[in-house]
């Protein structure tokens, strides 16, 4: 109650507590009002919302949201066959629903793992086809939002167990395990993601046996998983080191084994402590999926280029298209950040 009561007073003191602060507040509010007025005028007052290219070209100082109304399907689904786009729509909704359910602590039960298996099978079955009469769609035609969500969710789901093993391995008492874990983490963290994607797409096929090579999407997913796992491992290791060593010693003195201590005492506390850092890594991974465009996979931003690059009628309105894509990314990232705040409060680790 004390923090709530002092909230408005603290805001008044920060914004108007001295003449210099008051002047800075007035200038900042004036700048925001000016920018907001012009943005509203450009984006709403003089904007064209219907899919009419001629009307868009006739407007000199207004946005053309008609490009979104005209091109939203290729922006969201890429080169997936137009008449079959209900399949990626259902696939991404199903995978997102399972992800949201997994974010609810009450659903952290044994049945969550088989549910994930069903969701992934449904996602691949709908996207690829070849089952229950669905036509086959090669991965080269997957794209847009389903590819972005799929790469981020599946990549993180595969990377987290590996990161957990690497983090524990780096703190192991066995020198060989500790050295191998640290070497892997430092090696992967020392190269940019784009180089990992290039290696997975172009170098790995040269090393693979002739006649048997994984699909490019599988190779990219492998590279993304291995890259993200190195960063998650260091975050988890930070949480493990923050747990007082005395708790481990007391538990082992009471007769607990090494693995039960890690599983039931150390890891739950460590993961609670690093929720903000884990969320930051998840948000970064979601945005990093845009880099797969350089290896020929057209996720959300790549699908925008495909939708507008080959159409001279709508090509001049890239700005509105990028703003639409940015809004989709912002909604996803903002939802993740709010979930992080909620989970911190739920787990009792928030400092607010």
Number of neighbours of residue 346 by Cβ within 10 angstroms = 14
> Beta strands of 52-172 (E only): which ranges?
143
Q: What pLDDT was estimated at residue 18?
A: 82
- State pTM to two decimals: 0.87
Helix (H) or strand (E) holding 182: helix 175-189
Q: What pLDDT was estimated at residue 350?
A: 56
Q: Beta partners for 144?
A: 299
d(CA 278, CA 261): 22
Is the distance from CB of 130 to CB of 136 less than 8 angstroms? yes
pLDDT one-digit tens code per residue, 280-335: 999 999 999 999 998 888 999 999 988 888 888 888 888 999 999 999 999 999 99
Residues of the chain with pLDDT under 70: 1-8, 349-352
Q: What pLDDT was estimated at residue 269?
A: 86
Token readout for 87 is 């399949």
d(CA 188, CA 162): 13
Q: What pLDDT was estimated at residue 77?
A: 93
Q: What pLDDT was estimated at residue 22?
A: 87
Q: What pLDDT was estimated at residue 203?
A: 82
- Locate tokens 């590819």: which residue? 147
> Beta strands of the chain (E only): which ranges?
143, 298-299
Closest to 282 measured CA to CA, from 334, 225, 347, 336: 336
Q: What pLDDT was estimated at residue 10?
A: 73
d(CA 14, CA 9): 9
Closest to 325 measured CA to CA, from 289, 276, 279, 277: 289
Q: What pLDDT was estimated at residue 244?
A: 83
Q: What pLDDT was estimated at residue 349?
A: 60
Closest to 224 measured CA to CA, from 300, 268, 290, 146: 290
Vertex 79, ends 193 and 205: CA angle to 5°? 45
pLDDT one-digit tens code per residue, 113-138: 899 999 999 999 999 988 888 999 99
Q: What pLDDT was estimated at residue 2?
A: 46
- Locate tokens 């599946």: which residue? 154
Q: What is the DSSP string of 4-20?
A: HHHHHHHHHHHHHSSHH
Q: How many helices (H) and strands (E) does the chain have?
A: 17, 2
CA distances from 253 to 172, 250, 257, 258, 262 (A): 19, 5, 9, 11, 14
Share of the chain above pLDDT 90, in %: 53
Neighbouring residues of 219: CB distance < 8 A, sequence distance ≥ 6: 200, 201, 204, 205
């Amino acid at each position: 109650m004390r923090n709530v009561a002092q909230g408005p007073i603290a805001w008044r003191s920060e914004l108007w507590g001295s003449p210099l602060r008051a002047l800075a507040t007035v200038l900042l509010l004036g700048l925001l009002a000016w920018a907001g007025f012009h943005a509203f005028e450009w984006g709403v007052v003089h904007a064209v919302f219907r899919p009419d290219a001629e009307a868009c070209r006739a407007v000199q100082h207004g946005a053309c949201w008609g490009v979104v109304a005209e091109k939203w399907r290729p922006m969201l689904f890429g080169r997936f066959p137009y008449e079959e786009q209900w399949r990626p729509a259902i696939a991404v909704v199903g995978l997102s629903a399972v992800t949201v359910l997994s974010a609810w602590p009450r659903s952290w039960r044994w049945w969550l793992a088989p549910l994930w298996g069903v969701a992934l099978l449904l996602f691949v079955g709908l996207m690829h086809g070849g089952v229950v009469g669905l036509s086959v769609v090669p991965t080269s035609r997957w794209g847009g939002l389903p590819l972005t969500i799929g790469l981020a969710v599946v990549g993180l789901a595969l990377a987290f167990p590996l990161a957990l093993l690497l983090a524990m391995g780096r703190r192991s008492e066995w020198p060989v395990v500790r050295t191998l874990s640290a070497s892997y983490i430092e090696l992967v963290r020392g190269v940019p993601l784009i180089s990992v994607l290039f290696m997975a797409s172009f170098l790995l096929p040269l090393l693979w046996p002739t006649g048997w090579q994984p699909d490019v999407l599988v190779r990219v997913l492998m590279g993304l998983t291995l890259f993200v796992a190195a960063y998650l491992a260091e975050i988890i290791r930070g949480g493990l080191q923050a747990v007082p060593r005395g708790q481990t010693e007391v538990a082992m003195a009471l007769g607990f084994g090494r693995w039960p201590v890690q599983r039931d005492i150390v890891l739950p506390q460590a993961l609670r402590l690093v929720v903000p850092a884990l969320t930051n890594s998840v948000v970064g991974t979601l945005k990093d999926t845009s880099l797969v465009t350089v290896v020929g996979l057209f996720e959300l931003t790549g699908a925008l280029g495909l939708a507008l690059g080959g159409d001279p009628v709508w090509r001049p309105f890239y700005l509105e298209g990028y703003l639409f894509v940015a809004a989709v990314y912002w909604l996803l990232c903002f939802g993740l950040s709010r979930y992080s705040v909620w989970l911190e409060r739920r787990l009792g680790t928030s400092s607010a």
